[in-house]
Amino acid sequence: MTQDAAPDRTGAPAAGAPLRAAAFFDLDRTLIAGSSGLYWARAARRAGMLTRRQMARMAAESLQFRLQGSTDESTLRVRDAAGELLNGAQVRDLGRMAPQVVAAVLPRVYPQMLEIAYGHQDAGRPVYIATAASQDLATLLAAVLGFDGAVGTRFEVREDGTYTGRIVEPFAYRDGKAERMAELAVREGIDLAGSYAYSDSESDLPMLRAVGHPVAVNPDAELARIAAAEGWEQVRFDQLGRKLKAGAALAGLALIGGVGRRAVTRRTAA
């Protein structure tokens, strides 16, 4: 048995109906500041699912993500850790945690991105969250924000209502996210060639290249390079992320300076 969120809308488009464009928004560092995974981890810690050491490790990874963006290694590590934690957990219990996570995530939503999303809706284009985070969280957040739906990662469920810890393929990351978008496009009668996609990360190149109008939002270095080379629109407004990077650089310089001063002191004393 597999667990899946309810369809974004009931039914399929009528045969022969004209296709319409849509807009797809990555979640972490694109629609919201930072990582939604951190807030899920905090809720899991309160529920007794995470140890203090596991929580500290996830907090450190969240900070690294905020500074540098995602990597395949870190994403797969988080995916595997989530699978281990979910194995045996009740779907009902995770569902009860979701409102806590959404409540924590909402203050991190970029107002600029909501304006863009609602502008698409006003122009007749449905808007969707497209994320490697869980389908349930993505669907709930989409509903709260007034979006038209979401695609995310789905997890397998046993007959007794517990998770197995295994993912229902495809994993909504890199090519898998683009596959989930394509499935939705068929179901909802969406013209991907006329659609828009927004992301911060090089890992979302399949998502961005699946549409006719890719937009790089607060892009990591590699995505910024590719976006400039291919003439894609770029949007930058994550001032906190820049401050964090500057702070990390200053801390590094201070550490180097301190080491240098200690070395000079030792030489002088000698």
Specify the range with the lowest mean pLDDT, choosing from 78-92, 125-139, 158-172, 244-258.
244-258
- What's the token pair of residue 131? 């994320």
The predicted structure's pLDDT at residue 226: 98
Q: What is the DSSP string of 142-166?
A: HHHHT-SEEEEEEEEE-TTSBEEEE
> Using one digit for the tens of pLDDT, what is the confidence trace for 152-180?
999 999 999 998 989 898 999 999 999 99
Q: What is the DSSP string of 66-123?
A: HHH---HHHHHHHHHHHHHHHTT-BHHHHHHHHHHHHHHHGGGB-HHHHHHHHHHHHT
CA dist 131 and 219 (Å) reads 16
The predicted structure's pLDDT at residue 57: 60
CA dist 27 and 157 (Å) reads 24
Q: Which residue has the higher pLDDT, 253 or 67?
A: 67
Q: Which residue has the higher pLDDT, 99 or 151?
A: 151
- The CATH number of the structural domain formed by 23-237 is 3.40.50.1000
Residue 110: strand pairing partners: none
Summary mean pLDDT of the chain? 79
Give the catalytic positions in this structure. Answer: 26, 28
3-state secondary structure of 233: strand
The predicted structure's pLDDT at residue 56: 52
Mean pLDDT calculated for residue range 127-147: 94
The predicted structure's pLDDT at residue 36: 83
CA dist 104 and 151 (Å) reads 20
> Using one digit for the tens of pLDDT, what is the confidence trace for 190-235?
999 999 999 999 999 999 999 999 999 999 999 999 999 999 999 9
The predicted structure's pLDDT at residue 6: 37
The pLDDT of residue 252 is above 50: no
- Percent of all residues in the chain with a pLDDT value above 90, rounded to a whole number: 51
Q: Which residue has the higher pLDDT, 128 or 263?
A: 128
CA dist 118 and 241 (Å) reads 24
CB 44 within 8 A of CB 76: no
Q: Which residue has the higher pLDDT, 111 or 257?
A: 111
Orientation of helix 135-145 relative to helix 36-46, angle to 10°: 110
Omega cis (within 30) before 170: yes
The predicted structure's pLDDT at residue 239: 58
pTM: 0.76
CA dist 37 and 50 (Å) reads 13
Every domain of the chain and the residues it spans:
23-237, 241-270
The predicted structure's pLDDT at residue 241: 44
